[in-house]
């Protein structure tokens, strides 16, 4: 007959899709009730309306159903309170630290990071380096992180800075398309990868290594490895700014950036919607846990300019403002929703180059100025 311990160890194989650690470690399993061959499991989600709750529910069912003697599994989903959520994030963070040294079954194996004794992955990351490393994060997908990354890269370059872009969205890489580069990777004489030079921006992306639309199926540990390689195996020139386009979610990569690139600050992109703000808060939570600096918030798709100073607020209003207040960081700017922004991204000519007179271009330039002021404050 199935017992409590068996169920618990089965649940130890279920990972939270966002935090990438098992739900037992994260203290998400609240109660296990076994009645003969029927198992009831109470699971507390990190947030109300967690978009991934169905996956967690299914994974729990699958894991427990595999146990001999189990005929039915019922999952009751609840929600953590603020305190519990903070504990869960801090456990994920602790695990990520521990995971560097060990390959536990419950936590994804991670490559050994460079310790202080082994030096940084790249001169760009050394304590003495003057390169400002900025992660562009959001939590929710599709809010415009990559668009903001590409345009801020061009804007900072316009201000006279040497700018690099690292596309850490391994599955959904888009910087090649957005900045207008598509050649396969080239190596230099030292066998290091030469970044693309797209309109003066130095870019490294998964798009250099795979053919367009080819699916990438690497899992957790590979992601961490990838980031390391994007530093160690790339012939980065000297840079004033390195912008890292992060994948959506508060998971592995955000944690990796937080733990391995302590010099990196974050810029959080949100839309004016309440939900986007809440999800962005979770990303910020991870950053706070890791004591990572958040430079500011960029609100994207804020309004459609109607001319004569009139605006249509398609996605509501106030999300960016509220988020920046909660995080006690500046709202760096509100980027309008303009077709030239999307077209620029699709054509590989960012709006700052294709329509420099547009309102969005102006906003991106102002944001870049504020970033520069904040980064050197
Ligand atoms: N201000 C804007 N005006 C018009 N279109 C925009 C704007 N910002 C982003 N878009 C469009 O919205 C879509 C999503 O943007 P983008 O890919 O930058 O988001 P993302 O947050 O990086 O998404 P993902 O989470 O998938 O990485 C793209 O088609 C982009 O061109
Ligand atoms: Mg993106």
Q: Domain residues of the chain, as ranges?
A: 4-90, 123-375
Q: Is it true that 4-90 and 123-375 share their CATH fold?
A: no
Neighbours of 345 (CB within 10 A): 22
* Cα 313 to Cα 319: distance, rounded to the nearest angstrom: 12
| Ligand lying nearest the CA atom of residue 175 | 2
| Ligand lying nearest the CA atom of residue 148 | 1
Question: How large is the greatest C-alpha to C-alpha distance in the chain, in angstroms?
Answer: 73
**What CATH code is assigned to 4-90?**
3.30.300.130
> Residue 235: which residues within 8 A CB-CB, separation 6 or more?
188, 190, 192, 193, 194, 195
Distances 67 to 9, 63, 64, 262 between C-alpha atoms, Å? 10, 7, 6, 42
Stated length of the chain:
377
3-class DSSP state for residue 102?
A: coil
The CATH architecture one would assign to domain 123-375 is: 3-Layer(aba) Sandwich (3.40)
> Residue 88: which residues within 8 A CB-CB, separation 6 or more?
19, 26, 27, 28, 46, 80
Q: State the pLDDT at residue 98.
A: 57
* Cα 186 to Cα 208: distance, rounded to the nearest angstrom: 9
Q: Is 300 in the pocket of ligand 1 (CB under 6 A)?
A: yes
The residue with tokens 């006279």 is 160
* Cα 193 to Cα 186: distance, rounded to the nearest angstrom: 6
3-class DSSP state for residue 79?
A: strand
Residue from 22, 31, 28 nearest 4 by CA: 31
Burial 50-82 (b: 16+ CB within 10 A, else e): beebeebbebbbebbeebeebeebebebeebee
pLDDT tens, residue order, the chain (377 aa)? 888 888 988 998 998 877 777 888 788 888 889 999 999 999 998 776 666 788 899 999 999 999 999 999 999 998 887 777 767 766 766 666 555 444 433 333 333 333 333 467 888 888 888 999 999 988 778 899 999 999 999 999 999 999 999 998 877 889 999 999 988 888 888 888 899 999 999 999 988 877 655 555 544 445 667 788 899 889 999 999 999 998 876 555 666 777 778 788 999 999 998 777 777 777 777 777 667 788 999 999 999 999 888 999 988 888 899 989 988 899 999 999 999 999 999 999 999 999 999 999 999 999 999 999 999 88
Tell me the best of 315, 342, 361 to mutate to test the pocket of ligand 1, counting ligand atoms within 8 Å of each CB and taking the most. Answer: 342
* Alpha carbon of 146 to ligand 2 centroid (Å): 4
pTM of the model: 0.71
């Amino acid at each position: 007959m199935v017992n409590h311990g068996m169920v618990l160890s089965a649940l130890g194989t279920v990972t939270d899709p966002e935090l990438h650690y098992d739900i037992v470690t994260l203290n998400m399993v609240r109660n296990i009730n076994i009645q003969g061959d029927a198992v009831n499991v109470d699971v507390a989600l990190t947030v109300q309306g967690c978009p991934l709750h169905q996956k967690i529910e299914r994974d729990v069912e699958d894991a427990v159903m595999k146990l001999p003697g189990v005929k039915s599994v019922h999952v009751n989903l609840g929600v953590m309170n603020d305190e519990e959520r903070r504990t869960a994030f801090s456990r994920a963070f602790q695990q990520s630290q521990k995971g560097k040294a060990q390959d536990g079954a419950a936590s994804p194996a991670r490559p050994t990071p460079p310790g202080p004794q082994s030096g940084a992955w790249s001169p760009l990351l050394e304590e003495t380096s003057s390169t400002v490393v900025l992660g562009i994060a959001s939590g929710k997908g599709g809010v415009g992180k990559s668009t903001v990354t590409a345009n801020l890269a061009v804007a900072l370059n316009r201000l006279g800075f040497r700018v690099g872009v690292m596309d850490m969205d391994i599955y959904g890489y888009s910087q090649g398309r957005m900045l207008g580069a598509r050649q396969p990777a080239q190596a230099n004489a030292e066998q290091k990868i030469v970044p693309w030079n797209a309109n003066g921006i130095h870019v490294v992306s998964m798009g250099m290594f795979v053919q367009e639309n080819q699916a990438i199926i690497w899992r957790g540990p590979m992601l961490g490895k990838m980031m390391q390689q994007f530093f160690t195996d790339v012939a980065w020139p000297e840079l004033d700014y390195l912008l890292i386009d992060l994948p959506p979610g508060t998971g592995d990569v955000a944690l990796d950036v937080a733990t391995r690139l302590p010099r990196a600050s974050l810029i959080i992109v949100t839309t004016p919607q309440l939900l986007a703000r809440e999800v962005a808060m979770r990303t910020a939570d991870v950053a706070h846990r890791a004591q990572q600096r958040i430079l500011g918030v960029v609100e994207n798709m804020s309004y459609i300019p109607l001319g004569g100073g009139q605006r249509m607020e398609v996605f509501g209003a106030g999300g960016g403002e509220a988020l920046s207040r909660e995080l006690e960081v500046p709202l760096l700017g509100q980027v309008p929703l303009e077709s030239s922004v999307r077209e620029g991204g699709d054509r590989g000519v960012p709006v700052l180059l294709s329509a420099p007179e547009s309102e969005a271009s102006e906003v991106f330039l102002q944001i870049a100025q504020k970033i520069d002021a904040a980064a050197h404050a």
